[in-house]
Chain A
Amino acid sequence: MTDNPLDQAVTDNPWHHLRQFTDARIGLGRAGISLPTACSLEFQLAHARAQDAVHLPLDVDVLCQDLEALDGLSASLPIKRLHSRVPDRFTYLQRPDWGRRLDEASVQRLRAEDAAAQPAFDLAITVVDGLSSLAVQQNAAPFLAALTRVLADDDQVWSLAPLSVVEQGRVAIGDEVGELLNARAVLVLIGERPGLSSPDSLGLYMTWGPAVGLTDAYRNCISNIRPAGLAFDDASRRLLYLLRESRAKGLSGVNLKDRTQDDVIESSQGIRNFLIS
């Protein structure tokens, strides 16, 4: 900074150091009253990454290799490769209703299993690309590694249905997968709508008694699972809490509150509102 900021085309904001308290884009400074070049380009980069995350196709082969390598899932193999009724990304974005249902071939693949009259499973896990394949590609396997450890350590047995991967799917497609697999509960791992600073956010949706046509009111959600967000181990523990509650009560959704989240949040910085101090 020079002694006289008026000599510069860019005026810095003397409160820029408040960035240490928030990820919000504060104190950016200004060229006239507009965004300085560096800030403008930084924003464009973040938006470009978020858009790419939406359109990048899921590499199913690589994902399946990653999942097959996990110790705790060996009983759930081979992986069922499934597809929604959506033909392409362009359609996916405009027809959420088609993204909630399996295509005919996928239904047959799961029905074939049903013909073997397999027992009911405790839990079906399905991995769905959703709006960010990046989230699934990077975070599904490490999360499931953490989850299978937690499930194995639990005092109840959790029998797992065959693992599945769904392309061009929405959250509710898990209901059809879980129903066809005759599972008591379904867990959907899905790529969330990318945020500007979080293109890789994985979401978890759990439904007790999955059946086609259930609404969001029947699901519980844990969001923002990624290295810079909710850690894999923490997400696994929260999910186990929900799974145990769900199994004990025989329900999920709005009637199953996550009591770990009811606190009033004070400042994580240990500082009160500095504007009035």
Chain B
Amino acid sequence: MAKAYHYTLGSQCYRFKNLADLMAKATPARSGDRLAGVIAESAEERVVAQMALAELPLATFLEDHLIPYEQDEITRLIIDTHDNQAFAPISHLTVGDFRNWLLSDLATPEMLTRVKAGITPEMAAAVSKLMRNQDLILVARKCRVTTAFRNTIGLPGRLSTRLQPNHPTDDVTGIAASILDGLLYGNGDAVIGINPATDNVAQSIKLMTLMDEVIQKYQIPTQSCVLTHVTNTLEAIEQGAPVDLVFQSIGGTQATNDSFGFNLGVLAEAQDAAKSLKRGTVGDNVMYFETGQGSVLSANAHHGLDQQTCEVRAYAVARHFDPLLVNTVVGFIGPEYLFDGKQIIRAGLEDHFCGKLLGVPMGCDICYTNHADADQNDMDNLLTLLGVAGCTFIMGIPGSDDIMLNYQTTSFHDALYARRALDLSPAPEFERWLGEMAIFDDVAKHAPSSVLPGSFARSLANLPATGANQ
């Protein structure tokens, strides 16, 4: 039987029926928790829950499992891989003490690296609920997570971009045009990644080949990915396709991932298959995961948990497979989960912080749909905040408009804004390439060339009925 939690404030005693209830009630307000029926009933109850949570020892989460160990392979993964030695420096802390410790100068980048294997998703989620936005930014900024495949992602002072050249019919020429646009705006060092409009193995292989040929011809220090189901990618590998990264959307409960059609065993198989291709030149992080608050409730698999706690449990899955990139697609799911710009911004900062604290290479699809109460200004705010927080990567898309998925995310221009405003650079190998190819006049000043670089000009000249340079 799950343990109940109490907190006495003045003469009033507040009761929380179990740890999941306490976590949910302590969560900053968002529409998805209201939809799930787990939200605090008043603003006061929320803060009282936060006060109760602050007094809870971190070690509680190793005993009181939010989803039973027997029922859920992600709970088993979290508990079975918990590193007690790494946990030792923080094992005596309460959640409230943990916040103080993270903000203090005791928590150096080296110390944060040392303890990360001792931090469970539930501990990270709990402490994030007590933190203001500035706390989430400041601590995330201290976390060091570096990964590599054909370039090195996540170094301090760097901001990478996924070039996302989606097209509503997967038209090769249309996709190539968007890839060219992105490269010439200095985007694409995290990955060139396509969401296929037609989701089958043959179509995926066609798109993988397209990107592989471009990367090879121009010797681009980056990697490609087709965002198709993990089982499709496995089949593509068997058929000899040029697979750099394996993609999968993941959730924080086993039931969610069942509904997505995979389990941890399938991910392990896919990771092995991709690593065996040995296509990475400077590293072998071969996995690319996407997550997002609300996906678990959407799959009707939340076990009474709040959506942010479910989200952080997904990072335990990600962490286990040493991904190159993890992307929280924060505003895509719609206003029934994150209602407006304020909720989207908060969720983006929470996801980034929790991911980094657990040691995951966290990027963010800073985005919104047209039925959410959000606009470009909200995205500018979140982009700036995440840039300051040391976000690993963002999306880059022509003019913010994804004409296949029908939502708005950050543009090639937005990436250059963040680089200039915060003096951030792309991955070092890619940055050198931008200079060598004369795509940028001055990489240090984030200044693209106004002239079409020679090799691209020659390709454009081959197009029928168009001059490359009028």
- The tally of residues in A whose CB lies under 8 Å from a CB in B reads 62
Interface status of A62 (Cβ within 8 A of chain B): no
Interface status of A158 (Cβ within 8 A of chain B): no
Per DSSP, are chain A's interface residues mostly helix, strand or loop, or mixed?
Answer: loop
Contact A197 B403 (CB under 8 A): yes
- The tally of residues in B whose CB lies under 8 Å from a CB in A reads 72
Q: Mark A131-143, 1 if CB is under 8 A from B, else 0.
A: 1000000000000
Per DSSP, are chain B's interface residues mostly helix, strand or loop, or mixed?
Answer: mixed
- A22 nearest in chain B by CB position: B174
Least CB distance, A273 to chain B, in whole angstroms: 5
**Could you tell me which residues of chain A, from 21 to 58, have a CB within 8 Å of some CB in chain B?**
21-28, 30, 32-35, 39, 43-44, 46-47, 50-51, 53-54
User: CA separation between A271 and B339, bound complex, in Å?
Assistant: 43
Interface status of B213 (Cβ within 8 A of chain A): yes
Contact B171 A196 (CB under 8 A): no
Interface status of A6 (Cβ within 8 A of chain B): yes
Interface status of B172 (Cβ within 8 A of chain A): yes
User: CA separation between A193 and B34, bound complex, in Å?
Assistant: 22
Known: A51-B370, A274-B463. A43 touches B400 (CB 8 A): yes
Contact B173 A33 (CB under 8 A): no
Contact B335 A94 (CB under 8 A): yes
- A97 nearest in chain B by CB position: B35
Q: Mark A239-277, 1 if CB is under 8 A from B, else 0.
A: 000000000000000000000011111111101111111
Q: Which residues of B contact A1 (CB under 8 A)?
A: 470
**Could you tell me which residues of chain B, from 369 to 385, have a CB within 8 Å of some CB in chain A?**
369-371, 375-376
- B469 nearest in chain A by CB position: A14
Q: Mark B49-86, 1 if CB is under 8 A from A, else 0.
A: 00000000000000000000000000000000000000
Q: Mark A45-80, 1 if CB is under 8 A from B, else 0.
A: 011001101100000000000000000000000000
Known: A194-B371, A265-B198. A93 touches B403 (CB 8 A): no
User: CA separation between A262 and B446, bound complex, in Å?
Assistant: 43
User: CA separation between A47 and B154, bound complex, in Å?
Assistant: 33
Interface status of B43 (Cβ within 8 A of chain A): no
4 residue pairs, one from A and one from B, having the closest CB atoms? A25-B399, A195-B406, A22-B174, A33-B416
Which B residues fall within an 8 A CB radius of A?
A: 31, 34-35, 165, 167-181, 184, 197-198, 200, 202-203, 206, 210, 213-214, 217-218, 334-336, 339, 369-371, 375-376, 397-401, 403, 406-408, 411, 413, 416-417, 420, 446-448, 450-452, 456-457, 459-460, 462-464, 466-470
